[in-house]
């Protein structure tokens, strides 16, 4: 401890890594003292220099040309009165010839930390306002004669009146000055590895792209697409000429996408008043509209584009269903393999093969995807419960938007989805009001607003889409379903174990069982025997808690009972109350489609079992040396996924779409195409996509009475009664297809004389055109 002239303790000078030379002798002009938190030590208080720190070329550790009184302050001093600790920073480099790098105790407090030695070591400067290294001679001046030390040549400080003179008085530095001093450099940084160079923008973009490509969700999307192409093959083999399953309902739905795009592009006000079923209004709402696919309808025109569009959307619908169920299972807490089982089983369940001709039923991926987004937005999972720190308001908004989009595809499955969401909202509201007694804002105000806005958006979309259906129900009372219609399509209990004919494995084996069903396409409801087995195992061995397994089992049983319609004790206490009291349920004629929810719940149960099995395999592998699963264990974890995939293979036909007659590209409307019928009119709707002229023909879930009258009256066409009736409706042309009238009354009348009827006849391609 050194003592100043007044007898008080003087805090020691804190040396920097570059400051290893002795202090200058009294009266000599020195360079600025190194930055630190303490005042420099006066010249009168010297401490011995360790012998190991002597500079080369001297015998007593002093710099050549300096006196013995100018000794260096040792770097190993202990804590002083200031409470700071000076670190030992010996520097064995020699001083540059002709320069004096010794710090002056009388110098003004400078912002620079160290000077560069002769080896070219870089200056360590932590103060942004410090100056660079300057060459100084032994009298403390710049080579140009300018004093850079903050003192005059006679040793007087340059500081003006009122300023703290740190060089001559040895008084303590102010608190503000101590905060401004630079932090000493760590001596061990010299041994640190060179910092990694900052990558440029192209490299950063490449790294971000690489991370995106190997992300789990990216891989899941790619795998879903690849699996969809393979499982629906040969849908994309001849996408311009064939349609999966048949060319009746797929032709109708291909026209629906084409019409919605055409209407949005030309006259959105006529969207619900289509060019078919002339002169009926609101004809676009005679069946599920697939309005959510309208953006795809903006691309291309004509029947070929419509068929191609349908095939692409058919494959994408399968991919989205797989991805949506996978994401839902992952959000609930299942592992990757278990979630893959849930996704594949949900999309390629055998019973769905019978629905392959109904794109509005196959397009169900928005249901699990919206539920996953809503669960993620609310920070909830089945395995971990509610975690407020994981709430994401943006995911909640996205979930409601996807739910609204799913509803726009049709009420066939969207109506039940809407009621499921309403039930979830009701339960969530009850939980919210219950928990708010003990926890303030358990769901968060922003999340509550998101649910309110999203729920209103979903309800608004549903209400707007319901308006044309209410108009149709008002104008066509025969479109309303009865409980007797539900009984026709209600499957028995044996339907849950019967596969449709399109199943590659079970189709031929279950031919006898299908013969006992009155309407097998809607009564073969087998979700898969492998899925049954995995779900049953999930009741006893699973990552889900016991109460959750029981709730999932209850959901499976309830949805199965509802899928049976009136076959479960006549539906008196099950389906019938829903049919009578829930709005919109009387428009659903096929209760067997409730099997969609049964399959999803079974998939979640199976995902819990497979995930638990995969975790057990990892635990066993951790005890092995090396800790890596054997090939047999790895194959065992993939076996459930493989079995579910194989059971979903199909033997689906892909018929060629009937070629468009030349007359459909040249004849104006309104026109009638004969022969007319439910199956014959759906390709006619597809053919009309070239010009979208008005046609009397049309096929949907019901037949309007006027179209039924047209078909009945025109059986004898051309005759006076049929011609007058068509003129009354405003029909201008009639097209009779020669290749379809074999065995019909038109086979004889197509060449009958028409001179007395005031009409003309013209052969156009393979069709005969009658102009009224």
Mean pLDDT of 706-723: 93
Tokens representing 540? Answer: 């006893």
Residues 101-111 pLDDT 10s: 433 444 444 44
The label of the residue with tokens 């099950």 reads 574
- Choose between 172 and 227: higher pLDDT: 227
Element (H, E) at 764: strand 760-764
Mean pLDDT of 499-520: 94
Query: Which of the four pLDDT bands, split at 50, 70 and 90, describes residue 619?
Result: confident
Q: How many residues does the chain have?
A: 772
Which letter, b or e, does each residue of 682-717 get, where b requires 16 or more Cβ atoms within 10 Å of its Cβ? bbbbbbbbbbbbbbbbbbbebbbeebeebbebbeeb
- Strand, helix or coil at 677? coil
Q: What span, in angstroms and rounded, lies between the C-alpha atoms of 146 and 148?
A: 6
**In this predicted structure, what is the pLDDT of residue 544?**
96
Query: Which of the four pLDDT bands, split at 50, 70 and 90, describes residue 442?
Result: low
**In this predicted structure, what is the pLDDT of residue 385?**
87
- Choose between 234 and 148: higher pLDDT: 234
Asked if the model's pLDDT at residue 206 lies above 60, the reply is yes
Asked if the model's pLDDT at residue 265 lies above 70, the reply is yes
Tokens representing 136? Answer: 């100084």
**In this predicted structure, what is the pLDDT of residue 388?**
84
Q: Lowest-pLDDT range, 77-86, 191-200, 311-320?
A: 77-86
Tokens representing 563? Answer: 């899928």
Asked if the model's pLDDT at residue 420 lies above 50, the reply is yes
SS3 per residue for 182-204: CCCCCHHHHHCCCCCCCCCHHHH
Residues 715-769 pLDDT 10s: 989 999 999 999 999 999 999 999 999 888 898 888 888 888 889 999 998 999 9
Residues 268-325 pLDDT 10s: 999 999 999 999 999 999 999 999 999 999 999 999 999 999 999 999 999 999 999 9
Residue 326, CA distances (Å) to 312, 337, 338, 342, 413 in order: 21, 9, 9, 6, 20
Residues 119-170 pLDDT 10s: 444 444 444 444 444 444 434 444 343 443 444 334 333 444 344 443 444 4
**In this predicted structure, what is the pLDDT of residue 428?**
81
* DSSP for residue 674: E
Strand order of the β-sheet with 760-764 is: 671-674, 733-737, 767-771, 760-764
Residue 256, CA distances (Å) to 261, 306, 367 in order: 9, 9, 22
Element (H, E) at 558: helix 546-563
Tokens representing 250? Answer: 């797929």
CA dihedral 730, 731, 733, 735 (to 10 degrees): 180
Element (H, E) at 578: helix 575-581
Asked if the model's pLDDT at residue 491 lies above 90, the reply is yes
Q: What span, in angstroms and rounded, lies between the C-alpha atoms of 425 and 369?
A: 17
Q: What span, in angstroms and rounded, lies between the C-alpha atoms of 575 and 582?
A: 10
- Nearby residues of 292 by Cβ (< 8 Å), 6 or more positions away: 363, 405, 406, 408, 409
- Residue 282 phi/psi, 5° resolution? 55, 30
Mean pLDDT of 479-506: 92
Residues 445-469 pLDDT 10s: 888 899 999 999 999 999 999 999 9
Q: What end-to-end distance do the CA atoms of the chain give, in Å?
A: 122
Q: What span, in angstroms and rounded, lies between the C-alpha atoms of 486 and 481?
A: 8
Residues 576-600 pLDDT 10s: 999 999 988 888 889 999 999 999 9
Query: Which of the four pLDDT bands, split at 50, 70 and 90, describes residue 186?
Result: low
Residues 329-387 pLDDT 10s: 999 999 999 999 999 999 999 999 999 999 999 999 999 999 999 999 999 999 998 88
Report cis status (omega within 30 of 0) of the bond before 126.
no
The label of the residue with tokens 């041994």 reads 191
């Amino acid at each position: 401890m050194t003592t100043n002239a007044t007898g008080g303790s003087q805090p020691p000078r804190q040396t920097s890594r570059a400051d290893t030379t002795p202090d200058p002798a009294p009266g000599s002009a020195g360079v600025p003292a190194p930055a630190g938190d303490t005042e420099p030590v006066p010249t009168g208080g010297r401490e011995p220099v360790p012998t190991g720190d002597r500079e080369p070329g001297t015998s007593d550790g002093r710099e050549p040309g300096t006196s013995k009184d100018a000794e260096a302050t040792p770097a190993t001093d202990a804590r002083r009165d200031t409470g700071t600790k000076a670190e030992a920073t010996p520097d064995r480099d020699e001083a540059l010839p002709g320069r004096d790098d010794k710090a002056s105790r009388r110098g003004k407090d400078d912002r620079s930390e160290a000077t560069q030695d002769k080896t070219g070591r870089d200056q360590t400067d932590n103060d942004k306002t410090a100056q660079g290294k300057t060459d100084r001679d032994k009298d403390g001046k710049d080579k140009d004669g300018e004093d850079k030390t903050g003192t005059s040549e006679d040793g007087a400080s340059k500081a003006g009146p009122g300023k703290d003179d740190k060089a001559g008085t040895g008084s303590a530095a102010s608190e503000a000055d101590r905060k401004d001093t630079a932090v000493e450099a760590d001596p061990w940084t010299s041994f640190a590895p060179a910092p990694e160079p900052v990558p440029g923008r192209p490299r950063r973009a490449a790294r971000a792209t690489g991370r995106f490509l190997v992300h789990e969700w990216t891989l899941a999307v790619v795998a879903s697409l690849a699996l969809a192409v393979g499982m629906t093959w040969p849908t994309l083999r001849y996408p311009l000429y064939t349609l999966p399953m048949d060319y009746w309902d797929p032709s109708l739905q291909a026209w629906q996408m084409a019409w919605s795009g055409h209407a949005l592009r030309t006259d959105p006000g006529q969207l619900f008043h289509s060019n078919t079923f002339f002169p009926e209004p609101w004809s676009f709402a005679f069946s599920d509209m697939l309005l959510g696919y309208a953006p795809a309808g903006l691309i291309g025109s004509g029947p070929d584009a419509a068929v191609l569009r349908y095939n692409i959307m058919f494959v994408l619908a399968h991919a989205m269903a797989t991805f949506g169920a996978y994401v839902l299972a992952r959000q609930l807490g299942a592992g990757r393999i278990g979630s893959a089982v849930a996704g594949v089983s949900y999309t390629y369940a055998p019973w769905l093969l019978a629905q392959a001709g109904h794109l509005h039923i196959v397009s169900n991926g928005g249901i699990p995807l919206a539920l996953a987004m809503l669960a993620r937005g609310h920070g909830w999972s089945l395995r971990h419960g509610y975690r407020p720190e994981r709430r994401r308001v943006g995911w909640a908004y996205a979930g409601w938007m996807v739910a609204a989009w799913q509803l726009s595809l049709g009420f066939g499955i969207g109506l039940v989805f809407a009621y499921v969401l309403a039930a979830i909202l009701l339960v969530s509201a009850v939980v919210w009001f219950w928990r708010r007694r003990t926890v303030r804002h358990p769901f968060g105000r922003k999340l509550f607003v998101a649910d309110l806005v999203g729920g209103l958006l979903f309800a608004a979309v549903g209400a707007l889409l319901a308006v044309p259906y209410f108009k149709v129900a008002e104008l066509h009372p025969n479109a309303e379903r009865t409980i007797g219609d539900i009984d026709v399509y209600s499957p028995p209990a044996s339907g849950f174990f019967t596969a449709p004919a399109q199943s590659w494995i079970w189709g031929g084996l279950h031919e006898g069982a299908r013969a006992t069903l009155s309407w097998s396409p809607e009564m073969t409801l087998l979700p898969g025997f492998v899925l049954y087995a995995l779900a049953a195992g999930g009741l006893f061995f699973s990552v889900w808690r016991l109460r959750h397994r029981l709730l999932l089992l209850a959901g499976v049983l309830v949805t199965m009972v509802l899928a049976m319609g009136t076959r479960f004790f006549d539906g008196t206490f099950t389906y019938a109350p829903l049919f009578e009291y829930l709005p919109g349920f009387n428009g659903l004629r096929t209760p067997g489609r409730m099997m969609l929810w049964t399959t999803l719940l079974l998939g979640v149960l199976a995902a819990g079992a497979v995930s638990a099995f995969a975790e057990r395999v990892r635990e066993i592998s951790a005890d092995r040396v090396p800790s890596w699963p054997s090939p047999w264990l790895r194959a065992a974890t993939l076996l459930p996924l493989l079995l579910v995939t194989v059971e979903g293979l199909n033997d689906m036909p892909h018929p060629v779409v009937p070629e468009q007659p030349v007359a459909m590209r040249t004849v104006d409307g309104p026109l009638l195409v004969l022969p007319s019928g439910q199956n014959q009119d759906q390709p006619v709707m597809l053919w009309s996509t070239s010009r979208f002229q008005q046609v009397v023909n049309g096929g949907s879930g019901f037949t309007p009475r006027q179209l039924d009258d047209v078909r009945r009256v025109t059986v004898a066409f051309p005759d006076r009664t049929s011609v007058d009736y068509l003129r009354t409706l405003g029909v201008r042309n009639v097209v009779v297809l020669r290749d379809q009238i074999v065995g019909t009354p038109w086979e004889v009348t197509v060449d009958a004389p028409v001179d007395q009827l005031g009409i003309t006849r013209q052969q156009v391609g393979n069709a005969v055109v009658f102009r009224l």
